[in-house]
Structure 1
């Protein structure tokens, strides 16, 4: 491998480490203050875009474009009620009982620069959007 390739690879690794280091894990108290009332946009690992609002009572109603399953009528959009909470460990937890698959996860929320937020890890696949 050439010196240039090593230099480029080294730069990419350093930038990734810097991005990870510049993000700060939000504490339980920060999440309890921040999350109620936020509008959420998230892309699932299967590529479905989902939207919901973290209601102050812990409820949510999520909609998705359902890239994974679609429907017999040709309409992919669907919605379902669910719950959200902040765990004792300070993780953001979401439960949605979709028609074909249940979703139940908890993740640390990392706050990056500006209004960038991530679940567990700083990269585009783990990005989540919160809007007050």
Structure 2
């Protein structure tokens, strides 16, 4: 009885590890479609966002005025895992059809822009559309 459970857990971990290591090339192989600036401008305002990064998940809601408050479970830092963290943030759609975010965490600032691709019902963001080896970070967008 224990072997099937162990096998199932190991298989789930393998799938999670594979999903965490997706690249732009993987997204393109899966027929991912890059969202245009107009599509981003429809998708992003008032969207609830979940961003997965380095084992942590961060949550916020894109306010129409370009601001938000984010929270993170800070899983990548075990010393803070029970505390979590909050950040003030801003967002906008960049001129090059990117989703741009700035976060002011208590101990650091974070600023990035990502080209957003849709694969099935999932979304992924990449830094560059020229380098196929860049990491593809998973996002969830919902209203």
TM-score range, shorter chain: 0.7 to 0.9
The size of the alignment, in residue pairs, is 112
**TM-score, L = length of structure 2:** 0.69
| Correspondent of 2:65 among 49, 57, 73 | 57
Structure 1 Cα separation of the partners of residues 125 and 65 of structure 2: 22
Structure exhibiting the larger radius of gyration computed from Cα positions: 1
Structure 2 Cα separation of the partners of residues 100 and 129 of structure 1: 25
Q: Is the 8 A contact 1:116 1:129 kept in 2?
A: yes
Structure 1 Cα separation of the partners of residues 88 and 47 of structure 2: 16
Structure 2 Cα separation of the partners of residues 35 and 86 of structure 1: 8
Cα RMSD of the aligned pairs, angstroms, is: 2.4
Is the aligned partner of 1:116 residue 2:122?
yes
**TM-score, L = length of structure 1:** 0.75
Gaps of 5+ in 1: 1-15
Structure 1 Cα separation of the partners of residues 50 and 38 of structure 2: 22
Greater relative CO, 1 or 2 (CA 8 Å, sep 6+): 2
Q: Is the 8 A contact 1:67 1:76 kept in 2?
A: no
| Correspondent of 2:40 among 31, 36, 50 | 31
Residue of structure 1 in register with 2:84 after alignment:
77
Deviation at 1:68, TM superposition (A): 3.5
Is the aligned partner of 1:128 residue 2:128?
no
